[in-house]
């Protein structure tokens, strides 16, 4: 079905056929990803201060990195800057995932 649509649709479908409101992506990224990540980072930071568990610091920093990158990439959404926006989002996701992996590795290391 996708192949048929690809062959039947005109090749000239460009940015003028995108009907997404300009501020939809930045507002949704900020509301749902950034604020949730900040809340997780805040709770992880408070728990780290009370208990001193390094794994929670890594998990909070990972959430903060992903939340900031998603918010920044959403607000950089301009026509012609799609690659920069996706690169920033993916780099933040990679950094956040790496920090979560470090926190999980620290958890596995302390269980043994």
Alpha helices in 33-81 (DSSP H): 35-51, 54-75
* pLDDT of res. 93: 97
Answer for the pair 58, 102: CB distance below 8 angstroms, yes or no. Answer: yes
Write the pLDDT tens digit of every residue in 61-112: 999 999 999 999 989 877 778 889 999 999 999 999 999 999 888 766 666 6
Write the pLDDT tens digit of every residue in 11-70: 666 566 667 778 888 899 999 999 999 999 999 999 999 998 888 999 999 999 999 999
Q: For 35, what's the count of Cα atoms within 13 Å in the CB-facing half-sphere? A: 7
Query: Does the model's pTM come out above 0.95?
Result: no
* pLDDT of res. 79: 76
Q: How far is residue 40's CA from residue 17's CA, in Å, rounded to a whole number?
A: 38
């Amino acid at each position: 079905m996708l192949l048929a649509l690809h062959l039947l649709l005109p090749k000239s479908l460009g940015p003028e056929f995108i009907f997404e409101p300009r501020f939809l992506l930045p507002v949704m990224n900020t509301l749902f990803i950034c604020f949730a990540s900040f809340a997780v980072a805040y709770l992880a930071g408070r728990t780290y201060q009370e208990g001193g568990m390094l794994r929670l610091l890594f998990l909070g920093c990972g959430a903060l990195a992903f939340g900031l990158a998603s918010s920044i990439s959403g607000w950089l959404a301009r026509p012609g800057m799609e690659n920069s926006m996706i690169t920033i989002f993916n780099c933040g996701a990679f950094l956040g995932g790496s920090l979560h992996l470090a926190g999980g590795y620290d958890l596995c290391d302390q269980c043994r």
